[in-house]
Amino acid sequence: MSIYYELIRRCARTGARRGRLKTKHGTVETPAFMPVGTQGTVKAMSSPELAELKTEMLLANSYHLYLRPGVEVIARAGGLHKLMQWPGGILTDSGGFQIFSLGNLRKIEDEGVTFTSHIDGSTHYFTPERVVRIQNLLGSDVAMVLDYFLPHGSGHSEVEAAVKRVTRWARRCLKSHLREDQALFGIVQGGVYQHLRERSAEELVALDFPGYAVGGLSVGEPKAQMYEILEHTVPLLPPEKPRYLMGVGSPDALLEGARWGLDLFDCVLPTRIARNGRVMTSRGYLNIRNAVYAADMTPLDETCDCPVCRNYSRAYIRHLINAGEILGMRLTTYHNLYYLSRLMREIRAAIDEDRFERYYRRMKPLLEQHYGGAGKCRS
């Protein structure tokens, strides 16, 4: 089998669980957050720096890599791992989110999707089969089926039709998947309609994918509603297989996702806000651009032991960010990814030591106070 998921421990009173996802490029301790490297790089970070952060798997995007540098170039390099010089795991998204986000640049039909490139206006036809072939050439450890979902507020009939299409496309992806050293995950859709989530999960579980994702969330719905969907949907997925929540990465949502037994998470949030001078701290978001930090010689977060907080002051980082210096964005990005890496380590330790329920009760109000009002996580 291309990947092997080992369930280590369950929390007795919640759905939280500890696991290990074993791939050809190493083991991922779960629950785990995957930094987003859409175009074959996590913006402002090198591969050795990601390794310093104990990153074990990251996400890249098939659609963007297909456009540039092109799958032929990547295949000639020996695959995405070798091109990036990244030794750890890689999960590649299929382009399903681009179907959602590039509405004015695509035309969707039952057979596939025609995209107009945002780079040069050229047209490209993506079918479920072609998306799988692209990911086969990229050589990622986990590939995703081509999926389709609608924005929050869409009507029942529209979402029902999308769920039917997702299942048809998933069957076609599974039939065309060739790499034995790569796992193909199915994606459960259904919007905020619980019975459609049930139908999607039932149809995809019957296809026996090696892993499953919950998609179509963090697209405008209130967090409370997203949590209700997770509570209802996650138990429908096979407990012996890995579970991935797509596009969610605010600290409060990561804690809640872990509570319901999800194993993998990704989001552009920590790196995107970092480049704009917004950092995550034990007291919530801090906008380092603010004038109040101009002469502040304290670290970004006095409770943080990352190299950025050990060595640099708020005043210096503010100066770098406001001056447009690349180093400023690198430092804030490193810190934010470290913050989430530490949070996930704490969650794993709490499950390992049979104290997750206490940890959850303590952290939930704090994280909701600091991060509960954060907007969408999606790219």
Active site amino acids: 93, 266
Nearest residue to 150 via CA among 106, 96, 110, 201: 96
Write out the H or E segment, with its range, that includes residue 63.
helix 62-67
The 10 Å Cβ neighbour count of residue 202 is: 12
- Report helix, strand or coil for 207: coil
Contact yes or no for 59/34 (Cβ under 8 A): yes
User: Which residues, listed in sequence order, are joined to residue 114 by a DSSP beta bridge?
Assistant: 107, 125
Give helix 251-259 / helix 223-233 axis angle, nearest 10°.
Answer: 20
Q: What whole-number distance in Å separates Cα of residue 342 and Cα of residue 346?
A: 6
Helices (H), ranges, 179-260: 194-205, 223-233, 251-259
Contact yes or no for 126/78 (Cβ under 8 A): no
The 10 Å Cβ neighbour count of residue 358 is: 11
Can you read off the two tokens belonging to residue 181?
A: 């050293």
Q: What whole-number distance in Å separates Cα of residue 45 and Cα of residue 58?
A: 12
Give Cα 127 distance to the centre of its chain. 23
CA distances from 146 to 72, 112, 154, 239, 312 (A): 20, 9, 20, 23, 43
Q: Would strands 243-245 and 123-126 be described as parallel, antiparallel, or unpaired?
A: unpaired
